[in-house]
Amino acid sequence: MAEKTLVIIKPDAVYRGFSGKIINRFEEVGFSIAAMKFQKVSEKQAVEHYKEHEGRDYYKRLMNFLLSGPVIVMVLEGPDVITRIRKMTGKTIATERESGTVRGDYSVNNLYNLIHSSDSSESSAREISIFFKPEEILEYETATKKYWFF
């Protein structure tokens, strides 16, 4: 069964012109875009999104960064999409990033790390609901869906 996950292409990726390259990586491996918006994150959305980090020393930097410019929020769908997108995204810590991942290939440091992806099905459901109404998430056939399961 296919699952869904939230991906946020953060302001640094948008400003540096990497949005298309990042989206293309996900489409090339066969994931479907079920929803997508180009927007500025509201303070309410940012607070809800980062609520588990509240009180930590880096919380204000995270918030300021997410609110600093436009982002692309997406719901991606596919088999094992959460685990596979996390692997494609790469590690948060700059010194642990592997070449071939989005962060390993393009990010500058720990804060400006280009992308967010949900880390579990529970987080995915919660995070998707912050940015999308259920009717904004589309179901449609793609050429690659027939290859998802055999």
Tokens of 67: 């609110």
Tokens of 55: 């009180």
d(CA 111, CA 127): 20
Is 49 an annotated catalytic residue?
A: no
Catalytic residue among 35, 116, 118, 127: 116
CB atoms within 10 A of CB 87: 14
Is residue 88 within 8 Å of residue 26, measured between CB atoms?
yes
Give the active site residues. 116
